[in-house]
């Protein structure tokens, strides 16, 4: 898994402060901006986060490049709906090389690798057979291959990797980290959330100071479903 920050709102905490102060200020936005000092920004953003006034956080966004994650992770990630996603297509991109995610529990089981290799061979065989079938029907070879991989992909498992570009605003990220940094989150998306949190903490430290699983800075919110093992590694 590789996670890269592709882009983010410049001076994010200053923008949050301007937006929030505008709600209560009799001055123009330009005057509000000019009157802000760096020390004030840090205190003000910390106060906003602590009291739960999170709507100003929606003005800043972060765009990530996520590579080498499973389709299983993708299905979980896109449940976080206040975000934008662009996903590598299995319809247009042929999986000529085998690339899949191995869960830690299966790393030492040879049968897993054998099964994945067999599936990949089946995928390529189906792609070739369908391509030939379409060409025999008079379809242009490039179009024939496109149509073939569109149907052959149905044999590919959740473990096959994909690449994602996604954009979150800061408020959505806080919610994402609350749920996905938790020990009860699935291991792969928890790993992704940890990497993303590490990145954004460097950009907007006061926004994400206490972000992550609720047990890190307070009390677990999972009730009877709690793991009973607060995280200490984040």
Clarify whether residues 109 and 185 are in a common domain.
no
List, for residues 100-158, the tens digit of each pLDDT value: 999 999 999 999 999 999 999 999 999 999 999 999 999 999 999 999 999 999 999 99
Clarify whether residues 219 and 118 are in a common domain.
no
Which residue in 71, 171, 180, 190 is the catalytic one? Answer: 180
pLDDT > 70? residue 234 = no
In the block, residue with structure tokens 């956080």: 57
Q: Which two tokens stand for residue 136?
A: 């025999």
Clarify whether residues 81 and 189 are in a common domain.
yes
Q: Residue 226 has what pLDDT?
A: 76
User: Does 153 participate in catalysis according to the annotation?
Assistant: no
Confidence of residue 36 (pLDDT cuts 50, 70, 90): confident
Residue 176 lies in a domain: yes
The count of domains in the chain is 2
- H helices then E strands: how many in the chain? 9, 4
Q: Span 214-224, mean pLDDT?
A: 77
In the DSSP assignment, the letter for residue 80 is: -
Contact 179, 77 (CB under 8 A): no
Clarify whether residues 213 and 188 are in a common domain.
yes
Q: Residue 87 has what pLDDT?
A: 96
Clarify whether residues 64 and 111 are in a common domain.
no
Q: Residue 232 has what pLDDT?
A: 67
Give the end-to-end CA distance of the chain in Å, rounded to a whole number. 18
Clarify whether residues 59 and 146 are in a common domain.
no
CATH number of residue 45's parent domain = 3.30.1360.170
Clarify whether residues 30 and 128 are in a common domain.
no
């Amino acid at each position: 898994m590789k996670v890269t920050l592709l882009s983010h709102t410049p001076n994010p905490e200053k923008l949050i402060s301007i937006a929030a102060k505008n709600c209560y200020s009799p001055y123009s936005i330009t005057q509000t901006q000019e009157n802000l000092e760096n020390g004030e920004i840090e205190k003000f953003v910390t106060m906003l986060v602590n009291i739960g006034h999170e709507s100003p956080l929606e003005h800043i966004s972060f765009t990530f490049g996520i590579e080498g994650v499973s389709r299983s992770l993708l299905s979980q990630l896109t449940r976080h709906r206040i975000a934008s996603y662009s996903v590598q297509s299995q319809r247009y991109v042929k999986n000529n090389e085998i690339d899949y995610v191995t869960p830690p529990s299966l790393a030492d089981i040879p049968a897993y690798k054998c099964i994945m290799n067999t599936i990949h061979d089946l995928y390529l065989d189906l792609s070739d057979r369908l391509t030939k079938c379409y060409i025999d029907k008079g379809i242009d070879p490039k179009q024939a291959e496109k149509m073939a991989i569109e149907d052959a992909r149905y044999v590919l498992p959740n473990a096959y990797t994909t690449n994602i570009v996604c954009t979150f605003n800061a408020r959505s990220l806080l919610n994402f980290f609350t749920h996905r940094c938790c020990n009860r989150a699935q291991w792969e998306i928890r790993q992704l959330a940890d990497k993303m949190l590490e990145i954004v903490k460097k950009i907007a430290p006061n926004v994400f100071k206490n972000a992550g699983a609720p047990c890190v800075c307070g009390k677990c919110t999972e009730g009877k479903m709690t793991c009973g093992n607060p995280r200490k590694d984040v």
